[in-house]
Chain A
Amino acid sequence: MTEVSGLEALHPGTLDCVHCGMCLTSCPTYQVTGRETSSPRGRVYLLRGVAEGEIPLAETLAEEAYLCLGCRACETACPSGVAFGSLLEQARSVVDRAGLRRGWAKRIEQFALRTVVPRPRVLHGLLGAVSVAQRLGLDRLVLPWLPRRWREMHGLLPRIPAASERRRLPEVTPAIGEQRGRVAFFEGCIMPEVFGAMNRATVRVLASQGFEVVVPAAQRCCGALQAHAGELELATELARANVIAFGQAGAQGDAPENAPGTASATAPATGFDAIVVNSAGCGAALRELDHWIGDEGAPLAGQVRDVCEFLDQVGMRGTPRPLSKRVAYDDPCHLIHAQGVADAPRRLLEAIPELELVAHQDPAGCCGAAGIYNLTHPEMSAAILAKKLDALEAARPAIIATGNPGCLMQLQAGAQSRGMNVRLAHPIELLAETL
């Protein structure tokens, strides 16, 4: 694809915008700057202008394409159905191919997204080294010698668990009690390394609810980070690999009995009742695989369910044990805006006896994590995070629950820096603890 065809391809998407402005205040970067150029409407107008040759493909678009967090709050606000997420991916790809994005951010990102993240062994090895360094305190020793940027990055780095914690999940976990169905679990690339406990909790809850859980060994990274960074070719490659991995794993088992109360009544396309994901970012990407690879991706995409959404749909068996805590639920952008899931996690949490679900002022706003945005745009990220933390702090929760690893890390770092006495958890962990 040449650069011109990239612009031609995205042009029709820009015509969906009637310039009504209803998206403005949903946009975190507009909220902070008050600038039309940093609003969804302005960005679409820029794109259309470039595609129609009214203005050059230049630095403003390059900056805006990356200042945008890809949070897609504008999609939830837009009455005209502008597919902003997909426009953004295409825009970034055009910007990159035009060579407009340079500098350290681009280089680190490329290295991470091309070399580390999609290769489990490289990622495992690298994080293993970090884990050892953290344990021995070596990281603090070298810290003062590092450039400022690296020091900032270090602050955001979560504590990497020891290798024993970072083991892969078993390929098959049998259902407990009467079997209701068979699901595949998408474990993600970073999740098993940093949030292995969360993945194990997910499998435990699914099994406890009567689902056999298959974790196909050949699954790959979802490609979301790559796609959001404009690396559409790599994302496409990963998408195809996942279609094959889940298709083959699904075909191996017996066709599931569609017991009452399972996710799908019709013959499931991949041989599973659902492909369950516990990371909102991965879930959003997998649900839209067909955007990258067309019909080939549709069967997989159509079966993807967020873990809370799935459990809410099939219904939890039995009553959870009580958990007497104030919990604030925070919507990950890629769950509420990209997947339209907002009520399910709240319902599941509310069903836990004695748990007090408290509302806060800014549940659907972005937290500023957005992949590695907090590294590439530290100031904007901090401004957005501050607004979120103000809202959360005012609600005085003992636990903040949110279903996306990036948001968990960002909120954790933010809460810590403010000295908030609060625990961060994925809703599924709270469900696992109250089984």
Chain B
Amino acid sequence: MGPTPNPSSLEASLRDVVGADQVLTRPEELFVYEVDGLTHHSARPRAVVLPATTEEVARVVKVCRRHEVPFVPRGAGTGLSGGALALGRGVIIECARMNSILQIEPEDRYAVVQPGVVNTDLSKAVLHHGLFYAPDPSSQLVCTLGGNVAENSGGPHTLKYGTTTDHVLALELVLPDGSVVRLGSPSGWPAGYDLVGAVVGSEGTLGVVTEATVRLSPIPERTETLLGIFPDVVSACRAVGAIIRSGLVPAAMEIVDRRTIEAVEASVYAAGLPTDAGAVLIMELDGAAVAVGAQAERTRALSLAEGARDVQVARDEQERQRFWRARKGAFGAMGRLAPDLYVNDAVVPRRKLPEILEAVCAIGDRLGLRLSNVFHAGDGNLHPNISFDRRDADELARVLQAGEEILRLCVEAGGVISGEHGIGTEKREYMGLLFSDDDLEAMKKLRAAFDPTLACNPGKLFPTTRICFEANPKARGYDQVPFE
């Protein structure tokens, strides 16, 4: 880093841009911004700024540049890989106030939004046009579209509808030098390099997204939601394989295991899931009314053939919502077991799901951890959840070890180290499992084309080799890490 910046003048300049009450600098306020959804990594920012417009964002970025202070965009802070942490005592650019839906074009089926718009709020706003925004992360009630773009978020319906990248048509981006660019086009047919594609999933390292033009999808004519009740997770996984092999394209297939069911049923998201089941498989079929009924029937039959004890069909929209609320509240519900939850995220080829799951559970058992599974089975996207207490150094060490073993297992099986939660600080050291040094160099060149000074969300995505993954009982110390 360059000369030590003068904090008082940085703060003063930030206040000039956004007004005094939109800059937070008290130690307690910064403390609250030291974590996102991943609680065992933390780094305290130097300041938090809440801009309201693209122009303010651009000026904030310029101020940071002038003071040679790194900065990081942030949405709702629900990220699960430490992506929104301000490493190197950076400035957090909190986009939550930029939450206007700027334009809705029902005929062209797109909407233009500011980055702080909450995922479900967009779907609510276009409901009366018979449209919805398809990517539906389980955190959709709270997470922002800016965060979704940065993480290329998926959700249960990714199986049929794809991830965020399939739904972003154009972006407005404040580059790390403070200039504003527009990428892509609402028509969805960009000429030249697909720069929108490069920015989606870049985890806030290429600039601050200040506007996104996203695709809207027509609400299917009919939706059937089924709840398969299985004796164990493995038979539920086999049913998933059988359904896909049969040629059906369900909108979603989600597995919830017994431990998760117990926690959910004890929570406000209880949906009446049977607590004596080994696992439930939520299956959704949507499309033309004539087709969906028959498809649902086939799905049901296949589930029963693979050992389902029973398959229930949601009787109405209310019951359907209840199933989904239970699925989507699962993470939080696990909080009933311990103060912290580590949500791992990895993808394996679908055909290997049953054996991998068994191996994952064995890792948890061997290390004496409370491990449960609730995941996007249709995509082969695993989320082994480990309940723990970060104040217990020994337990935290075992959690991290399990995390690493699970990732290695998945990569060996031909999978990847993240399905949707991103790399962030959490998995940066594991990029080497997937990519060669040459690969990583090529990625760094792309990044440098946007951000030659590496000031925008430093310390994420790429291995640092300087950090050691020793367990740290207070889980602090990430802010000590050089971010270069």
Chain B 90-120, CB within 8 Å of chain A: the 1/0 string?
0000101101000000000000000010100
Q: Chain B residues with Cβ under 8 A from A35's Cβ?
A: 24, 50, 94, 96
A82 and B336 alpha carbons, distance in the complex (Å): 9
Interface residues of B in 20-46 (CB under 8 A from A): 24, 26-29, 31-33, 35, 37, 39
Q: Chain A residues with Cβ under 8 A from B132's Cβ?
A: none
A407 and B48 alpha carbons, distance in the complex (Å): 34
Interface residues of B in 311-330 (CB under 8 A from A): 329-330
Q: Which of B165-173, B251-259, B264-272, B348-356 contacts the other chain?
A: B264-272
Q: CB < 8 Å: which of B142, B339, B341 contacts A22?
A: B142
Query: Is A16 located at the chain interface by the 8 A CB criterion?
Result: yes
Nearest CB in chain B: distance from A406 CB, A: 24
A77 and B331 alpha carbons, distance in the complex (Å): 13
A209 and B6 alpha carbons, distance in the complex (Å): 73
Establish whether residues B50 and A34, one from each chain, have CB atoms under 8 Å apart when the complex forms.
Answer: yes
Establish whether residues A21 and B339, one from each chain, have CB atoms under 8 Å apart when the complex forms.
Answer: no
Establish whether residues A80 and B336, one from each chain, have CB atoms under 8 Å apart when the complex forms.
Answer: yes
Chain B 219-256, CB within 8 Å of chain A: the 1/0 string?
00000000000000000000000000000000000000
Establish whether residues A34 and B96, one from each chain, have CB atoms under 8 Å apart when the complex forms.
Answer: yes
Q: Chain A residues with Cβ under 8 A from B268's Cβ?
A: 75-79, 81
Query: Is A308 located at the chain interface by the 8 A CB criterion?
Result: no
Known pairs A25-B118, A34-B50, A34-B99; A79 contacts B269 (CB<8 A): yes
Query: Is B463 located at the chain interface by the 8 A CB criterion?
Result: no
Q: Chain A residues with Cβ under 8 A from B264's Cβ?
A: 79
A49 and B476 alpha carbons, distance in the complex (Å): 13
- Give B29's nearest chain A residue, CB to CB: A37
Nearest CB in chain B: distance from A413 CB, A: 26
Q: Chain A residues with Cβ under 8 A from B482's Cβ?
A: none
A239 and B50 alpha carbons, distance in the complex (Å): 44
Known pairs A18-B339, A21-B139, A34-B99; A42 contacts B32 (CB<8 A): yes
Q: CB < 8 Å: which of A56, A58, A59, A78 contacts B332?
A: A78
Known pairs A20-B78, A25-B118, A49-B31; A60 contacts B141 (CB<8 A): no
Interface residues of A in 16-58 (CB under 8 A from B): 16-25, 30, 33-37, 42, 45-46, 49-50, 54-56, 58
A17 and B390 alpha carbons, distance in the complex (Å): 13
Query: Is B335 located at the chain interface by the 8 A CB criterion?
Result: yes
Q: Chain B residues with Cβ under 8 A from A36's Cβ?
A: 32-33, 48, 77, 94
Q: Chain B residues with Cβ under 8 A from A79's Cβ?
A: 264, 267-269, 329-333, 335
Q: Which of A30, A34, A50, A77 has the most CB of B within 10 A?
A: A34
- Give A57's nearest chain B residue, CB to CB: B28
Q: Chain B residues with Cβ under 8 A from A189's Cβ?
A: none
- Give B21's nearest chain A residue, CB to CB: A33
Query: Is B334 located at the chain interface by the 8 A CB criterion?
Result: yes
- Give B266's nearest chain A residue, CB to CB: A81
Establish whether residues B335 and A18, one from each chain, have CB atoms under 8 Å apart when the complex forms.
Answer: yes
Establish whether residues B31 and A16, one from each chain, have CB atoms under 8 Å apart when the complex forms.
Answer: no
Chain A 77-94, CB within 8 Å of chain B: the 1/0 string?
111111000000000000
Establish whether residues A24 and B142, one from each chain, have CB atoms under 8 Å apart when the complex forms.
Answer: yes
Query: Is A61 located at the chain interface by the 8 A CB criterion?
Result: yes
Q: Chain B residues with Cβ under 8 A from A133's Cβ?
A: none
Q: Chain B residues with Cβ under 8 A from A50's Cβ?
A: 28
Establish whether residues A22 and B139, one from each chain, have CB atoms under 8 Å apart when the complex forms.
Answer: yes
Q: Chain A residues with Cβ under 8 A from B39's Cβ?
A: 18-19
- Give B99's nearest chain A residue, CB to CB: A34
Establish whether residues A58 and B339, one from each chain, have CB atoms under 8 Å apart when the complex forms.
Answer: no
A sample of 23 cross-chain residue pairs with beta-carbon separation below 8 angstroms, ordered by A number, consists of A18-B39, A18-B341, A20-B78, A22-B329, A23-B142, A33-B50, A34-B94, A34-B96, A35-B50, A37-B29, A37-B33, A45-B31, A46-B31, A46-B32, A56-B28, A60-B26, A78-B268, A79-B267, A79-B335, A80-B332, A80-B334, A81-B266, A82-B335
Q: A20-B37, A21-B37, A79-B331 are in contact. List 20 more A-B contacts (CB 8 A).
A: A18-B332, A19-B37, A20-B332, A34-B97, A34-B99, A34-B116, A35-B50, A36-B77, A36-B94, A37-B29, A42-B32, A50-B28, A55-B31, A75-B268, A76-B268, A77-B268, A80-B267, A80-B335, A80-B336, A81-B266
* Contacts from B to A (Cβ < 8 Å): 24, 26-29, 31-33, 35, 37, 39, 48, 50, 76-78, 94, 96-97, 99, 116, 118, 139, 141-143, 264, 266-269, 329-336, 339-341, 389
Enumerate the 10 nearest inter-chain pairs by beta-carbon distance, A residue then B residue, closest first: A80-B335, A79-B332, A34-B96, A18-B335, A79-B329, A60-B28, A20-B332, A34-B97, A15-B339, A79-B333
